Structure 1
């Protein structure tokens, strides 16, 4: 009997959080893309309705904020573009910082392929655009074709992409993060008209103040908020686009997994409140919980729903309203600007990303195929949010060209969606899950008992909290005793989150023990104490095993242990494993095959002997 439910529990935080958060395998990105699409359609309907004249009147109405005669006077569209979108770019910056610190971009070797694909996906579209628009006012809009809209990309992938495409999603998300970094750098370097040095100096001082707050380990958001507002105003007055303040501040904020002492302190404060509920204990417990989590992750949790479901749709509503009358459409149909955008986004992204990945395809992770990458590359031509943002920067003084560019962005996004759908549908689809082991055994990566070159192999995907895995451990011992040095046993992680809430952290502790050369001691100890794998018990187990506690804590916090466990888990989900334990059996020269049916010692021994006999014929 195996555990078969693989999804974890949902988490909720307010009304928007209820919309944004979804269980494992669900797609909140799809919902965010729907919000964005609806806002875009509303903008187009509004701009082309009998009341279309009110669109420009409304968004170009001015709002001024001044103190003692000094202030900022912007129309409503630019309050959205320069003000609210700073929060959008702030969230992008938080995501980039997290990925660099403890996420996919921490391991540069794993990120090498999507990074190279992102660079090609930035450069080739710009080259193709400039072939059609080598000079004149339209040439300034080359930045429109460089960026992919992450929300639309992931939403479209969830709708038209293949099943079991978690590797593709990670690849595209990493690519999109790198893409965003490149787009933001180009906005900063290219689309700044003039600099005012005194406000710029004030902005630099503001950024230095954020860095100093981080250095002093300030964890409350209020101090960062005040400095950030001053920095945003100063950067706006300097001539540099104010939204970049959000990115730069986010990149300076600290990000780290919770520290043990702060988690224990938060738990103690919570216990005090539970024993004596009163306002003072409620306040200190809340502050203790906040302090245990990095500013980066708290702010991302707070702002992501607002940016996804309010700010970005509001941006689309303010910028996508193009009057699609005959004259405008006729001009766009013959405009090198419009066709340059379509060529850059649809063709440039597709060829650039696919081509760069094809050159490095040997470095692709298992489960990610070139047809999948090609489909994702096609969808990457959906360049919406930042593309429209750059239209406003590059063609602010050319309203007719700006309308042609917006039509190009809308047309390119639609064509990219169609192309991606066609590529995915044309790719060969497997007729059910493969029984082959997805990732070959790698002595440099895998945990192996027995000679690494033994002719027989068992690979087990297991979960330290799973009672069936614990029982199977004794059976594996019998199998190893039977075959001796002719067998190597490989252990891989597959924590079933819903059934076993402590399995993930137990797996991470085992990987941290591996950093001290003690994986198998931890493996045996955790299975022997499978009913006591909460965090406090795991630290007690680590003490019993004689592990260096300081090094253990550091290894748990750097993100590598979590990424290593996640890697195994993604392989298991991609292979559609039915639960834990799952065994793959193989002989030298042949790919291990999944064992279906019983997994007692006698069955494993008989299956391996049959494989060995067949291989010797």
Structure 2
């Protein structure tokens, strides 16, 4: 009996470890593609193809017919439609982590969760400091985000010999950060609400959660429900990507093995999210004009608030949360990890990019303010990546010398 129990525990540990390694490899490699697409977008926006690039992004596309016809620009289809798949995958990842992964044990998650909270609160406060009393206050959520793909990609490149626990720490931090960003979007970045459509959406999500409780494994049930939920949220005034997150929460997970629908969908859709959705989002949203005027706007309250939040607020909030918990003896220092590793991870947390650009598109309806926010996000993310690389290199040299 004891032998079978040990074998079961060993299998469960192997499944969790394999899932994390798969997630880490995928996210870190997709960060390289994401960076390449961001560079291509900036080249297009600053070349002779700029007018064609803008025309394609704002070209209206109609899907459906009659009263079910929906017309939006290509950029809106990316941000409101395609990104719903990205958030759907995030929803499944968060559910898996809470049920079977790194977020299952409250004791093991104290450090990254506290760090994530510190890394969201301090940047928001810094942004508010620069924009208090101005309409641009709406952008306080922009510097709160951490880009999982970029941050893990830089970590894999800059700190190949870093302890695995740092990769786990940064991954869990970024996942909690995403959850915080989702809550911020749902609560603070909604338009005028239409209660009839929202009531329909609530009925759909309740039916989907009922199907989950009944362990219904048919993908068509959740696909049909997800489409109706997305449309209800779009028409109801809540950003439709929230429908993707809720749908991810509603997918049945079984006992955490490989035969449940959550595992199958996550493994099939994660590559599409990482290697298609996020690169297309970068192509559509990272096209910023690089000239004296646009670069100068980063020194406006919006730009300074975002850069201060990502480059100062993020590292400070993350590092001080970790330092305080370890110093007070609430959490023990992980094996083979130094405070330099946590400082480097905190700086990499300042790579906002995907989520920051996404929240900026919701916060700033004015094209000029949005371009300022995008420029600041890109500049801060690049600086955070370079600074984090330098800190990890310095930490590794110190460890080899000691």
Normalised to the residue count of structure 1, the TM-score between the two structures is: 0.59
Instruction: Label 1:411 to 1:257 Cα distance change in 2 as closer, same or farther (>3 A).
Output: same
Residues 231 and 26 (structure 1 numbering): CA distance in 2 closer, same or farther, change over 3 Å?
Answer: closer
Is residue 26–residue 271 contact of structure 2 (8 Å, CA) maintained in 1? Answer: no
Find the residue that maps to 2:239 and give its secondary structure: coil
Residue from 147, 150, 160 that aligns with 1:149:
147
Aligned partners of 2:136, 2:311: CA distance in 1, in Å?
A: 19
Equivalent positions of 1:320-359 (< 5 A) are 320-332=286-298, 334-359=299-324
For residues 74 and 148 of structure 2, the distance between their equivalents in structure 1, rounded to whole angstroms, comes to 25
Please give the alpha-carbon distance, in whole angstroms, between the structure 2 residues aligned to 1:408 and 1:47.
Answer: 16
1:303 maps onto 2:269 in alignment: yes
Deviations 1:102-121 (A, max 9, x none): 11111001101111110000
- Alignment partners' CA distance in 2, 1:127 and 1:431: 38
Match of 1:50 in 2: 48
User: Which structure carries more strand by proportion?
Assistant: 1
The match for 1:229 among 209, 227, 230 is: 227
What displacement does 1:82 show?
0.5
Please list, as runs of the form range in 1=range in 2, the aligned pairs for 1:447-526 lying within 5 A after superposition: none
Mapped pair 1:421 → 2:389: yes
Deviation of residue 249 (structure 1)? Answer: 1.3
Matches of 1:70 and 1:222, distance apart in 2: 20
> How far has the Cα of 1:58 moved from its partner?
0.8
> Does the 8 A contact of 1:138 with 1:337 survive in 2?
yes
CA contact (8 A) 1:322 1:403 kept: yes
Name the structure 2 match of 1:113: 111
**Once the 2 structures are TM-superposed, how far is the Cα of residue 24 of structure 1 from its aligned partner?**
7.7
Contact 1:132 1:336 in 2 (8 A): yes
Matched residue SS, 1:235: helix
Q: d(CA) in 2 for partners of 1:149 and 1:423?
A: 19
The whole-number CA distance in structure 2 between the counterparts of 1:377 and 1:140 is 25
Shift of 1:352: 0.3
Report the alpha carbon displacement of residue 294 of structure 1 after superposing the two structures with TM. Answer: 1.4
1:367 is paired with a residue of what secondary structure?
coil
Matched, 1:381 2:350: yes
C-alpha displacement of 1:418: 1.7
> In the TM superposition, what is the alpha-carbon distance from 1:256 to its structure 2 partner?
3.3
Helix, strand or coil: the match of 2:217?
coil
Give the alignment's Cα RMSD to 1 decimal: 2.0
Check conservation: 2:151, 2:348, Cα contact below 8 A: yes
CA–CA separation in structure 1 for the residues paired with 2:71 and 2:22: 45
Pairwise CA distance, 1:257: 3.6
Report SS of the residue matched to 1:74.
strand
CA displacement at 1:391 relative to structure 2 = 1.0
Larger radius of gyration: 1
Deviations along 1:146-169, whole A, 9 cap, x unmatched?
Answer: 010000010000011251420000
Q: Secondary structure at the match of 1:69?
A: helix
2:366 aligned with 1:368: no
Whether 2:214 is the aligned partner of 1:211: answer no
Matches within 5 A, 1:463-612: none
Tell me by how many angstroms 1:215 deviates. 2.0
CA distance in 2, matches of 1:22, 1:305: 14
CA distance in 1, matches of 2:361, 2:393: 36
Change (3 A) 1:343 1:115: same
Partner of 1:251: 249
Give, in whole Å, the separation in 1 of the partners of 2:231 and 2:23. Answer: 41
Q: Conserved in 2, the CA contact under 8 Å of 1:257 and 1:293? A: no
CA distance in 1, matches of 2:28, 2:98: 25
Q: Which runs of 5+ in 1 are unaligned?
A: 1-20, 260-291, 435-617
Q: Secondary structure at the match of 1:217?
A: coil
Residues 155 and 389 in structure 2, CA contact (< 8 A), matched pair in contact too: no
Whose relative contact order is higher, 1 or 2, with alpha carbons under 8 Å and at least 6 apart?
2
What's 1:395 paired with?
364
Work out whether residues 137 and 395 of structure 1, in 8 Å CA contact, stay in contact via their aligned partners in 2.
no
Gaps in structure 2 of 5+ consecutive residues: 1-18
Residues 162 and 424 in structure 1, CA contact (< 8 A), matched pair in contact too:
no
Deviation above 6 Å: which 4+ runs of structure 1?
21-26
Separation in 2 of the partners of 1:221 and 1:321? 36
SS of 1:390 mapped into structure 2: helix
Q: Is the 8 A contact 1:22 1:28 kept in 2?
A: no
Shift of 1:295: 1.2
Distance 1:310 1:366, change over 3 A: same
Q: Note the C-alpha offset of 1:403.
A: 0.7
Give the equivalent residue in structure 2 for 1:314: 280
> Equivalent of 1:408, from 351, 366, 376?
376
Q: Secondary structure at the match of 2:305?
A: helix
The structure-2 alpha-carbon separation of the partners of 1:24 and 1:238, relative to structure 1 and needing over 3 Å to count, comes to closer
Deviations 1:335-369 (A, max 9, x none): 12111111000100000000000011241332332
2:194 aligns with 196
Following superposition, the deviation at residue 22 of structure 1 comes to 11
CA shift in 2, pair 1:367/1:228, >3 Å: same
> 65, 69, 73: which is aligned to 1:75?
73
CA distance 1:60–1:105, shift in 2 (3 Å): same
Equivalent position SS for 2:72: strand
Report which stretch shifted further, 374-383 or 26-35.
Answer: 26-35
What residue in structure 2 maps to residue 263 of structure 1?
none
- The number of equivalent residue pairs is 379
Cα drift, residue 66 of structure 1: 3.4
